[in-house]
Structure formats: structure tokens, C-alpha cells
Structure 1
Amino acid sequence: MAQRKRKPPRRKRPARGKGKRRGTRRKQRSRLWRASLFCLRWGCAVGFAGIIAIAGYLFFLDRQITSTFEGRRWSLPARIYAAPVELYPGAALSQRDAVAELTRLGYREVEFANAPGSWSARGNTLRAVLRPFRFGDGERGELPLAIEFEEGRVVRIDDGAGGELPIARLEPPQVGSFFPSHGEDRLILSPEETPPLLPATLKAVEDRTFDSHPGFDLKGIVRAAWVNLSTGELSQGASTLTQQLVRSYYLTNERSFARKLKELAFAVLLEARFTKADLMNSYVNEIHLGQDGARAVHGFGLGSQFYFNKPIAELGAQEIALLVAVIRGPSYYDPFRHPERAKGRRDRILGTMHDFGLIGEQEYHAALARDIGLAATRRAGRYYPAFLRMVRQELADDYDAETLGGEGLAVYTTLAPRVQDAAQAAVTETLAQIERDRGMDEGSLEAGMVVRGSQTGDIQAIVAGRVAGRYGMNRAVSARRQVGSAIKPLVYLMALESGQYDLASLIEDRPVTLDVPGYGNWSPRNFDREYRGPVPLVRSLADSLNVPTVRLGMSLGIERVAHRVEALTSVTAQAFPSLLLGAVQLSPMQLSELFAVFASGGFTTPAKTVLAVVDASGEPLSRYPIRVESAVELEHAATLTRALQVAMTHGTGKRSPHADRGVAGKTGTSNDYRDSWFVAYGAKHLSVVWIGRDDGGSHQLTGSAGALRVWNAFASNIDLEPALAAPDNATIEYETGLLADYGCGNIVSIPVTDPQRLRAKPGCH
């Protein structure tokens, strides 16, 4: 059977367009693969670059933190201390004044003093435990004292265990600081100086996971984020103590997510690099706790002084709670401005402290019952700006502004706060009283006052004007006015030095006319326009007679007088006869330089405000010893002092209630009653008072009607000791200079060169 041929199979043609689509898909897959590969490569590259960038940024932050935090060095202002109060048998200090000084230092009264910063009193005995303090000449540990008083004086000091002490010093109060340019102020505390209750309270109130978190609290962040997203505002925070530290030290208070991320990075790096103890100590010293004008109060060491006027070691639970309360908002919870608000938050914190077992039940209720107990005033030196400016000027030759503002120096000064406060009060109150008495416009009078040590030149007080603490013109230093009769003692000193006169020598009080080249004739007159004929030299000075003074000065030589004025005051004086009556312009400070020569027994003792400077570690840097130079023989200075004592008892100062206290004094009044002066000195204090108007107008006040009244008020609140004067060896009639005896009219005892040469008053000797 024949086989049939098979036809070869027909080639199937692909459907139209199918092959093309298949090829297109292959190409698309290829392109997609290549694109994916490209993206993967670039994504890896970008991601790697991002990781490198982030790592680099973190490395940069780490280096920044390490370099700054490990070498943490705050700018510490120079602290300015007043002079310490010295206690010794015989010291003129009453028990009330001693208590006032302890109160100024923040000491607290207790039933029996047994801890530093406490005092108690029983009868005429005051017990106190003095705090440790680093003086300019060395350290002193805590010191128990028992001080006995009698009739306004210290009669005995012992160490509380019966051992008698020759002398003890209270620690001086801080009266100011020289701040760095950023205005931050702080007292650095070491971990050992920080009461354990403080960090425990901080953790309980501000950061309960501090001991375990890595720098941030994740739960807190989530909670705060939810609140912020719900409200649409950045109203909630979840900052740990570490984050607060970062914000205070490295960042601003700007509220943004970028700043928050940076804050987190800093916090994590800090936690990785440093121990929790390091971070807590830094927080304790860094955190902002308040503002005092331009001064920013940082750290709990200064916060304790600022709010309570005592060191942090002496704080109770309620005081620590108040400081922690302020952290949340130093302005909002400012206890000085908002005491109820601050107390409310303090009490809530006390509750937290109790709940966490930091304080017991009894202590908790006792703390709740206490008031916030702030210091009487947050004094930071602003009440002594005039004195502090003088300190800065004196230090300027040795220390630049950066050193004063940032090296933590301790500057020990001559300021006596009790004397300063008495001087300022005398000026402020007396000027107001004079204006009322005389019907003057309120505030029309101004004043300047200097109080310095009679023997040392130490400036104890500076009153720049009638308003305490006002920044501006320092009239005690800058107001140069005619001194009037206050210049006369120099003329009489030169007469004594000439050897031709003593206090009983007679000089003529009768009219005189002088021909002054270029000005014509000049005829001086006495204040009362009367003439007395021959008067003893002591009376002429004590009564401040003009005509005898001019006669005396012209006989000595007006050029010599002008030269002596310049030598003792550093002020150039014109050699005109009117100079003899005070036609020379001096400031209260410059006039004090002149009278300091008389008060010290003949020595120039330049004014100074600084005693010593010590660095932050306690090493002495500079001392400012007394510089003296002989300018007048002791005999002549002491004789002049005796004449000025007579001026107080018999002359222009005789209406003073302190005239018989042995002080030497001299009034001064310039032409047209533009300037009223009074100068007085005893063994301890030399005081100069000026009263006038800033516009130079007349006020119709003599020295005794104006400046003397200020000094009277001042002297009522300080200790007055007699000036060191030459001993008397003759008694004369004050008006005539004749030898006299008691019961023979107005007599005065004085030192004279030769009593035998004096004529006796008939029937009186």
C-alpha cells in the first residue's frame, strides 16, 4: 500500500503584535533592573554619605563637648569684701551692735549656739559659732565664741570652753562683685560641699530616671510629643537634668524641633562621656536661679546666699525646696516678687520630698509651717556703687577687666558697712530735715561725705549723694567746691611751724586793706562784721575770724601758703590773699587728704580702699600696705589738733551735742553761702561733709547750720574717741589770751611754748 506523503508542518505565524510586546516587556524589565540597581547604588552611596555626615557631626559635637566640659571653667567674678569687725577687750561695740553685725552676716538666733552661723544671748554674754572663712591673710576654721559686754564695750572673749582670746574677727560681708561681661555670677560648690538632700530632691522633682536614662527620657518625650501634637504648640517639654544642663551651657531657649534634636545629641554624648556625679555637680553650679538687675544668679551656692544670706550647708529642707521650686521659672516663681506663688510650689516639692522618703513626717510638717524666710534684702553691692568704683580704679593698675571679671579673685577692702550705713543715713535724713526747717524745695540740697581712718587713710565710707545706691556723680570725689574757712587750719599750722607763734600768741583783729595786683584793693571782713582788737591765736582759729587769719597768712607769705596747699592736696592754688579764706576748690576727698596730715600726727596717708587680693585657690596676689611719709612735725600737728578741739568746745562747733567728746573739728562756708563744710576727726575716724546744690546756687547755710548737722547725726551712731592732741600746760582766758584760773570767766587750757611769758589776768591767777 502506497504511503501518503506527509506535508511538512506549517509554520505558525505569530499573532500580529505579540512578539513585539514580548520584546518590549523584556526591555522594560531590563531598564527597571538597571534603574533599580542604579537607585540602589546611589541610595547606598547617599545613605553611606549620610551616615558619614552624621557620624562626623556627632564626632564634632563629641570633640566640642569633651574639650569644653572636661576643661569646664566658669567665669568667676571678683568678690569684694568689706573690712572684718574685730572683737577684743576694750573694743567699742555694744551687744546690740554685735547682734546687728551677726544678723548682717546671716547668722540665726537659737536657744544655744552650737553650730556655725548661729548665735544666742543670755544676760550680757553673747555666744556665737563663727563660720570658717578665708581672710586675706589666711584661713580660719569655725570658731565658738563667748563674748561679754559692759557699758557698750567688749570686756572679755573666750573660745566657749573658758580659754580667753585676745582678739577675734567676724567674717566680712560681701559687698559687691565685678562681673564678667555676660553678667553671670556663681559660687562654685564641690560635690563634698553640696548637701545630699539637694541632688536627691532634684532627681525626685525634675528627673526621676536620672540615674538610669542615657540622657533623655523616652516615655517623657512620647508623652510631651502627644500633648504638643494635640495642641499644635510646643507647650510641653520632657527635659532631663542632663538636657537642662545642655540647654543652659550650650544652647538657647528657642523652642524648635531642630534645637531639640541637637539637645538630645548633646545629652547622649554627655552621658556617654561623663559620670552621673560629674553631670549633677555641673548642674548644681550652672542652673539659672534668678536675676538681680544685670547680675544673673547661677548655681545653688550663690542662690543660697542670694535668697537666704547664708551658705548652702546651713539650709533646711524648706529652703532647699524653695531653691528647687525656682528652677521651673526664676521670674514666675521669684519669691521676692511672688512669695505666695513661690511658697505654693515649695510646699508641693516638700510633699514630693516626703513621698520619696527624703524627709520624715515631723520634718515635713515643720517645714510646711515655716514662712519662706528670705534674706531681708537681696543686696549685691548696688548700695555701695561709689565705693566699688573706687575699688575698681585702685585695682586698674594691676588687673585688667577680664581678670577682675573672670578669675574668681577675692578682694578685701577697707569698707566698714556700719560706718557707711550711718553716714548715708545721716546725709539722707538730715538734708530732708534742713529742707523742711528752712522751707526749701524738696531734693534741692545735695551732699558728699568721706569717712576714713585717722591714722591709716583707709576709706571706711563714701557717700556720693543723698540717695543711697544711686549710680552717677560721686560728689565725695568729683564735686570740687570752694572750701571756705576749712582751709584756715593750714595757715595756723604754718604759723606754729614758724616758731614765732603759739596758741596764746596775740594777733590783730582790726580792719586791713590789701592791694591785689590786677584786682585793686581788697578789704576782708569777719562774718559778724565786728572787730575785736588783739585776740589769741587759738580763738582766732576756733571762732574762724577772717581778718586776723588774713593778717597772719600775709605775714607768712601767700606764695608759701599756696605751695603748701598744693603739697598736701595735689591741687594747684592761686597765690591770692583770698586763698587764706578758702578761695580754692577741693573735693571732700581732697580736703580729707589735708586733714589726714593733722589727724595722723603729721603724716601723709594716701586714701586707699583695697587691703589685699587673693586668687581663687587662696594664694595672695597683692597687698596694699599703708604708705606714710612725714610732712609735719608731730609737735605742731598735735598742737593744731588741740586748737581744733577748742573750736568744738568754744568756737563754731560748740553747739554740737558731741562738742565735749575730744574730737577736733572745723567748719567752712564759701562766698554767697554756696558751700557748707564740716571736718572732724578723733583717734579712729576722720570725716568730711559737704552740702551744696548741684547747680552751684546759694542755699544760705553756714558750715555749722548745714554740714555740722549731718556730722552730728552721723556721730550719734558711731564710736567717738578723742583725737591725739598735745598736752595742755597753761590756762588762759579765751577772749584775751591772759593767764586765768577756774572761776575767772571763759577759760580754756592749751599747750603753749613758754607759760612763763604769759601775762596774768588781774585777780584771776
Structure 2
Amino acid sequence: MARRKAQAARTKRPSRRTRSKRKATGPRRRKGRLWRVLGKLFAGVLLVGLIVAIAIGAYLVVLDREITGRFEGRRWSLPARVYAAPMALYAGLRSTPDELAMELRRLGYRETTGSHPAVGRYVVGPYRVRATLRPFHFADARRSTLPVTIDFGAGRIVEVTGPHGPLSYVRLEPAIIGSFFPSHGEDRLVVAPDETPALLIETLKAVEDRNFDTHPGFDIRGILRAVWANVRAGEIAQGGSTLTQQLVRSYYLDNRPTLTRKLNEVAMAVILDARFEKADLMNAYVNEIFLGQDGARAIHGFGLGSFFYFNKPLLELDAHEIALLVAVINGPSFYNPFRHPERAKGRRDLVLNTMRDLELIGQRLFEDAVARPLAVARNRSGGRYYPAFMDLVRIELAKDYDRKTLSAEGLAIHTTLDPRVQERAEQAVVTTLASIERDRQLPEDTLEAAVVVRASQTGDIKAVVGGRLPGRQGFNRALNAKRQVGSLIKPFVYLAAIESERYHLASPVEDTELTLPEFDDWTPTNANDEYRGTVPLVHALAESLNVATVRVGMDLGVAGIAERIAELNDNVPTAYPSLLLGAYDASPYEMSEAYAMLAGGGFKTPAKTVTAVIDAFGGTVKRYPIDVKQVADPVAISTLTRALQVAMSRGTGKRSPLARSGVAGKTGSSDDFRDSWYAGYDADTLTVVWVGRDDNNSHGLSGSRGALVVWDAFMADTDVEPALTGDAQYIAIDYDTGLRARPGCGDVVEVPLPAGTELRWKPGCRPLRDRVRAIFD
């Protein structure tokens, strides 16, 4: 019973008051659970936020360390610049005011008026040129800005005057003829803040980043303003990125349009802006920004851009030129002034309009600048490129420098190339080959040519032409085309004869038919199968008589002659009798090495293309002095030189307009007229010319009909200094017999003979006094 009461008590329905209490406590319990859930969620979010913040902070710390360290130690890969030899101006130099003005224009100088031209400008008159030369670090000295006056008369310079009086000479700064840029292709010319025009800096801010001086690296207002300006202009008139962001994008990132890249760009820009002065950032931008493409070479920075587009230093740019450089930033390919001049001019004028609106330039200057054509330089990067010559420069530099050093250390390579000589040689090849093809009715563009020009006494290479398209990189025939040299070998046969002291220029040699049984009955023949009997040695060389040459060579020994040739150019010939007639493959460059010994009076001076290497700070890394070694008797060389003068005046070179100028030279041709050669020298210059076909087929040109004609064109209107022939006593001999003869008695030439040499007189050609004396003797 008690148990039932207890159960009844437990199951008794609660009272109204109790139910009311329970209704009151239920919602409070649910609200407490909600707050607990929200609290946990907030704590989770807070924890995640804290983790993200820590991660971002850590990333920014790492990013800060990375980009700050890299920016502080920034060192662009600076390609080595290759310079031609500077042009020296001095009293007596053959030149005219117009010719000098052309040289100044080649270097980017501009003609002006007045008596005191600014730096990089010149004034030209009928008999005088005034110019203010730019500062330049030559291989041997640094020159500051220099005003000069050059007076002319009778086709020559009369006087050179500087600010303090007459000067013995003055040098124009050399032209850039090449560079060694890195494998990634970036090329630049770094400029310091004081080498950057203030107008360029202000224009960059006006067009690209008006709040550059105040924003923290990115600019929301600039972005909005750019959007509005672009909408109004109907084109991209302003960019949304700050200069700092553009610098980050160029220096650290790529151009992929991703959100991650953009966020990184902003973060990096903020860090750089916080860590570095605005002037440092601007200078980095000026040297880093991409401004165009030149084949495989990427043009970076305004320093190089100024030369690439206008062929002059950045400080010399006018307002319209600065505007064009700023204009191409927005799209170097799209606004390429060489390919899209109208498009580029429109963009340039838009920049000029902005410059005028912000009062960077006045209204008159704006109107003048807008009226100007683009006037971009076709002769880009401060000079032409000479690929055949540059091949030799690379070979010479490879002995001392690796590619990384050449492409990254900012070296200045000073060379021996003379642009005026080079362009004369190129012009001679191009015009003469076309003329020969036309006159001889040869198929057009089938002939090729190569030319090597070097200083007779020093070995300095003045010019190299590798083909009839000289400005185009390709097969360098001057260096790599090994062709049979023909009669160009003969002077070395006769040099051996003279050195042996068994022969002199009047020695009789037999020019009669010859067969060599010990060499498979080899039978050399003369041109047209004509034989002249007994002739003096000078006649045999001058007329290039094959059989007489073989007789002399066989008498001396072919092996010794082969060794002598190998000593001169490291190209070892095979010692067969056919070598005596030029069965020897050599390049024009190798033949210039051999003939250099003749032009140098018996002294071997190896070819030289580099004179000095200067580092980025102006210090001398290495100089390349003249290396001279005596390899032949100077008396024998002067004797041979005289014989080669006779070869020009009386022999195979007699058709040349310069035949009697004192030049020593020899023509040559190979079997079936496949190769036409000429090598000649005066006191200053040695030149070797080859003309032929790449397919090695016959063209029908002897040495005098092909290569000599090219040489004639090259030497036209130049001063010729007779080749040096020593102080030996000259004796008049009959050209055909070698007998002594008085001047004017028949065909007489004067030649040096060894002391004590006695010759029979040619009948009837003895001077009267000697005939009278002979009667009484």
C-alpha cells in the first residue's frame, strides 16, 4: 500500500505553478547553448585569423628580407660594349667640313646655329666646323666636355683649336659597334640620377604615377583616375599601376594576370616604398623598364633606349623625344615607332598633351614638339654592327674572358676597327660585284667577296667584310672560306730565293716547258701556253710566270718553302710541287697574316682587334700591346717589295689606276678561274681581297679582273704612301733580259741588287761615258 502511494506521488500531475516555472526556464537553457556555440565559433574564427595573420606576417617578413636584400644588392647584368677606334682630327688630315659633319651625325651629334654649340651639337660652315664634344672615357684617358674648332683648306684640316689654343689633335668619341648581352637577352646602359633629365622624371610621374611622391607603393586614387581618363580618351591613356608596382613587376615578377601575382605585386611595392627613398626607386625604374626589342636583344632602361631610338645620350633628348620614350612604355611592341609610326606618334602626342596640361612644357614648345616627326634613328644603338669583324673580336676575347664576364660585368671593349675604312670596303664590295656581274653578263648575285684590311706596321685590323651583305650575320668568308690561293703564293717562293742569296732580282730564270717525272710527269703550264725563255727573276714574278716559278721553287726545295708559309699563318701546306703555283687552301684572313710579314718589313705582328678592356668603373682590365717578332731579313723583304711594286706597275697589276702609286701587290687566280685574289700594301695599309662563288664554280675572273677591281674601288680617293723598300742602291736593268741598261734605253726598271753584283750591259744601252772609258781601258 505504501509502495502504491509512493508511486502515485511520483506520477502525480504537476501543479500549475510548477508548469509555469518549467515554461520559464526552457528558453534560457536554449539561449545559453547558442551563446556557447557562438563563443566557440568566434574563438575558432579568431584562431584561424590569428594563424592567417601569423602566416601572412611570416610571409611578409620573408618577402621583406628577400626583396629588400635583393634590391639593396641589385646589380644588373651589364653587357660588354664594343667600341670602334676613335677618329683623330689633326692638321693635315684629308677631310672636308661636310665629311666631318657626316662623322658627327654618325655619332648622334646634331647641327645647330650660333657660335657656341651645346654639348652634342655642331655648326658647319664652308671652311670651319665648331662642335662641343661629349665627355668620354677612352682606353688611355678620360676626356671632359670639349669645345673645338676645326679649320679646313684645300681638302685637308688646317688647324684644330680648343678653348685654350691650338691642339695637336683631338679625338671624336668612338662608335658602339656591338655588345655581348646575356643569354636572357637583356641589354641596358645604366645611368645615374645626374645623367637623367628632370623632364623625363616629371613626365614619368605625370603619365604613369601622379602620386608617386606621396603614395605608399600603390594608389587607389590613381587607379580610379586612370579608369576615368581611359574611359574619356577611349584608349589606355593612363596606367593603373604605380611606378613602384611596374618596377616590382619588371624586377621580381612575371606578367601573368593572376590575383596572386597582383597581391604579391602590391605587397612588394609597399615594402619597397617603406624601405627605400623615392629617388632610389625612380632611378631603378629608369634603368629597368623594358622599352623595345632588337632581334634577340631586349632594350631595357632609358639610357639604352635613348641610343636605340635616337642615337644620342639621354641628357641630350628634346621634349618630343622624351615623350616618345615614355609613350612606348605602355606597349613597346604596339607603339613600336619603326613598325607603327602613326600609332607611336599619336601616343607621343598624347603624352605631350599631358606634359602641357601639367605645365611641364609651355604652349610654344608643345606646338613645336607636336609638329615634329618621330625622327627615330635607323642607325640604332649608337652605331652599326659589323658581324664579320665581331667574329674576330670574340675569338680574341675568348682567350681571356668567359661568356658570363663579357655579358654581365659592364666592360668596355676598345677595338681597332675604323668605321670609315670598313664602310669604304663594304661599299667597294657591293658596288663592284654588281658592276662586274652586269658587265660580264654573269647571273645576278652569284659572286661573293671577302676583304681584310689591316695596318701594315702594327697588325691592327681596320676592316673585315665577310660577304656582299656585310651587315648581315652569317657565313664569314673572310675568316672561314678556305679557297685555293693561286699566284698569291708566289711572292713567298721568290722570297725564299732572295733569302738563299743564290738569286737576286736580275738573276736569269728559265721560262720554258717543264715536266717533272718524279711527280707523275706533272707538267705546269703558263697562261695561254706562252713561254718567254730566259727572263730576270723580277720579270718572272711580276708577270706571274708559272713554269719559271716552279723551276725556282724546285731548285730551292718545296719542303723549305712550305715550312716558311706555315710559320707565317699556322696553316700548314702540303709540300707538293703544285704548292708553288698556289695549290693551297687558305682564308683571306690567313693570307693577310702571311702578307703582314711582307708589309711589316720582315717583322711578324699578329692580327689585333682589341686594344684595351676597361671595367665599369673606368679601370684598365687589360691592354693589348703590339707583339713584334722578326721572321725575315728586312733587306730581303725590301727587295721583294720592290719586285711587287714592279708587278703592279709593269705586270699583272698594271690595269689598276694605282699601278704606279708605289703600292706593292700581287694578283692570283685558281684553276678554271674559280677564285680571284689580290693582296697589296703601301706604307700604311695591307689589304687582301677574294672574289668567288659559294658553289665553287668558275666565274671566269682572273685576279686582275675581279679582286683587283674591288681593291681599286676601295682605294679610290685615298692617299697612298709608297710601300717601304729600304735604302738599297737601285740599278737600272732591262725588264725582259735582266741586262744592265741606262734609263730610257728600252724597257727599263730599277731594282735593288746585292752590293758587288756585276751585270753585263745590254748592247747599245751603256752610257756614253762608260763606252768611252771602256775604249781606253
Normalised by the size of structure 2, how large is the TM-score? 0.92
Q: CA deviation at 1:411?
A: 0.5
* Partner residue in 1 for 2:533: 533
Cα deviation, 1:493-550, whole Å, max 9, x if unaligned, reads 1111111222122211111211234xx1112111121111111111111110111111
Structure 2: distance between partners of 1:745 and 1:228: 91
* Partner residue in 1 for 2:704: 704
CA pair 624-132 structure 1, distance change in 2 beyond 3 A: same
* Partner residue in 2 for 1:133: 136
CA pair 718-66 structure 1, distance change in 2 beyond 3 A: farther
* Partner residue in 2 for 1:751: 752
Normalised by the size of structure 1, how large is the TM-score? 0.94
Q: CA deviation at 1:667?
A: 0.6
* Partner residue in 1 for 2:546: 546
Structure 1: distance between partners of 2:650 and 2:261: 79
* Partner residue in 1 for 2:122: 119
Q: Bigger shift: 106-115 or 411-420? A: 106-115
Contact 1:599 1:681 in 2 (8 A): yes
CA pair 17-764 structure 1, distance change in 2 beyond 3 A: farther
Contact 1:516 1:576 in 2 (8 A): no
Q: Structure 2 matches for 1:634-673, cutoff 5 A?
A: 634-673=634-673
AA in 1 matched with 2:633 = E
Q: Bigger shift: 657-666 or 732-741? A: 732-741
* Partner residue in 2 for 1:344: 346
Q: CA deviation at 1:347?
A: 2.2
Contact 2:175 2:382 in 1 (8 A): no
CA pair 764-155 structure 1, distance change in 2 beyond 3 A: farther
Contact 2:644 2:665 in 1 (8 A): yes
Q: CA deviation at 1:22?
A: 6.3
The DSSP-based 3-state class of the residue aligned with 2:521 is: strand
* Partner residue in 2 for 1:4: none
Structure 2: distance between partners of 1:413 and 1:14: 114
Is 1:150 aligned with 2:153? Answer: yes
The DSSP-based 3-state class of the residue aligned with 1:677 is: strand
Structure 2: distance between partners of 1:169 and 1:724: 28
The DSSP-based 3-state class of the residue aligned with 1:176 is: strand
Contact 1:678 1:689 in 2 (8 A): yes
Q: CA deviation at 1:364?
A: 2.6
* Partner residue in 2 for 1:598: 598
Q: Structure 2 matches for 1:171-320, cutoff 5 A?
A: 171-222=173-224, 238-320=240-322
The DSSP-based 3-state class of the residue aligned with 2:168 is: coil
The DSSP-based 3-state class of the residue aligned with 1:119 is: strand
Percent of aligned pairs with the same amino acid: 57
CA pair 548-24 structure 1, distance change in 2 beyond 3 A: same
CA pair 225-365 structure 1, distance change in 2 beyond 3 A: closer
Is 1:560 aligned with 2:560? Answer: yes
* Partner residue in 1 for 2:735: 734
Structure 2: distance between partners of 1:26 and 1:549: 128
Q: CA deviation at 1:675?
A: 1.2
Q: Structure 2 matches for 1:500-511, cutoff 5 A?
A: 500-511=502-513
CA pair 562-17 structure 1, distance change in 2 beyond 3 A: farther
Contact 2:97 2:126 in 1 (8 A): no
Q: CA deviation at 1:732?
A: 2.3
The DSSP-based 3-state class of the residue aligned with 1:450 is: strand
RMSD of aligned C-alpha atoms?
Answer: 2.5
Contact 1:735 1:746 in 2 (8 A): yes
Structure 2: distance between partners of 1:706 and 1:272: 70
Structure 1: distance between partners of 2:13 and 2:385: 115
Q: Structure 2 matches for 1:551-630, cutoff 5 A?
A: 551-630=551-630
Q: Bigger shift: 89-98 or 282-291? A: 89-98
Contact 2:209 2:222 in 1 (8 A): no
CA pair 445-28 structure 1, distance change in 2 beyond 3 A: same
Q: CA deviation at 1:645?
A: 1.0
Q: CA deviation at 1:291?
A: 1.0
Q: CA deviation at 1:236?
A: 8.9
Q: CA deviation at 1:269?
A: 1.2
CA pair 343-222 structure 1, distance change in 2 beyond 3 A: closer
* Partner residue in 2 for 1:48: 50
* Partner residue in 1 for 2:770: none
Q: CA deviation at 1:612?
A: 0.5
Structure 1: distance between partners of 2:411 and 2:238: 41
* Partner residue in 2 for 1:60: 62
CA pair 182-121 structure 1, distance change in 2 beyond 3 A: same
The DSSP-based 3-state class of the residue aligned with 1:521 is: coil
Cα deviation, 1:236-261, whole Å, max 9, x if unaligned, reads 95111111111111121222333222
* Partner residue in 2 for 1:691: 691
AA in 2 matched with 1:321 = A
* Partner residue in 2 for 1:681: 681
Q: Structure 2 matches for 1:5-44, cutoff 5 A?
A: 13-14=15-16, 25-44=27-46
Q: CA deviation at 1:379?
A: 5.1
The DSSP-based 3-state class of the residue aligned with 1:522 is: coil
CA pair 703-166 structure 1, distance change in 2 beyond 3 A: same
The DSSP-based 3-state class of the residue aligned with 2:375 is: coil
Is 1:761 aligned with 2:773? Answer: no
- Aligned mate of 1:431, from 433, 438, 458: 433
Q: CA deviation at 1:470?
A: 2.4
AA in 2 matched with 1:129 = T
Structure 1: distance between partners of 2:170 and 2:224: 60
CA pair 122-236 structure 1, distance change in 2 beyond 3 A: closer
AA in 1 matched with 2:497 = A
Structure 1: distance between partners of 2:330 and 2:229: 19
Q: Structure 2 matches for 1:389-468, cutoff 5 A?
A: 389-468=391-470
Unaligned 5+ residue runs, structure 2?
Answer: 1-11, 767-777
Q: Bigger shift: 703-712 or 339-348? A: 339-348
Cα deviation, 1:18-53, whole Å, max 9, x if unaligned, reads 887766645533432322221122111101111111
Structure 2: distance between partners of 1:94 and 1:283: 44
Q: CA deviation at 1:383?
A: 3.3
The DSSP-based 3-state class of the residue aligned with 1:164 is: strand
Structure 2: distance between partners of 1:660 and 1:210: 72
AA in 1 matched with 2:390 = L
Q: Bigger shift: 453-462 or 468-477? A: 468-477
Unaligned 5+ residue runs, structure 1?
Answer: 1-9
The DSSP-based 3-state class of the residue aligned with 1:661 is: coil
Q: Structure 2 matches for 1:90-109, cutoff 5 A?
A: 90-109=92-111
* Partner residue in 2 for 1:5: none
Q: CA deviation at 1:345?
A: 2.2
CA pair 35-512 structure 1, distance change in 2 beyond 3 A: same
AA in 2 matched with 1:149 = F
Contact 2:515 2:521 in 1 (8 A): yes
Cα deviation, 1:607-651, whole Å, max 9, x if unaligned, reads 121111011001100111111100011111111111111111111
The DSSP-based 3-state class of the residue aligned with 1:451 is: strand
Q: Bigger shift: 12-21 or 182-191? A: 12-21
The DSSP-based 3-state class of the residue aligned with 1:757 is: coil
Structure 1: distance between partners of 2:755 and 2:229: 99
The DSSP-based 3-state class of the residue aligned with 1:41 is: helix
Contact 1:601 1:637 in 2 (8 A): yes
Q: CA deviation at 1:589?
A: 0.9
Structure 2: distance between partners of 1:354 and 1:154: 46
Contact 2:208 2:239 in 1 (8 A): no
Q: CA deviation at 1:116?
A: 1.9
Structure 1: distance between partners of 2:454 and 2:503: 31
AA in 1 matched with 2:558 = I
* Partner residue in 1 for 2:775: none
Q: CA deviation at 1:663?
A: 1.1
AA in 2 matched with 1:597 = M
The DSSP-based 3-state class of the residue aligned with 1:535 is: strand
Structure 2: distance between partners of 1:550 and 1:18: 141
Q: CA deviation at 1:590?
A: 0.9
CA pair 227-285 structure 1, distance change in 2 beyond 3 A: closer
Contact 2:645 2:663 in 1 (8 A): yes
Contact 1:383 1:468 in 2 (8 A): no
Contact 1:542 1:651 in 2 (8 A): yes
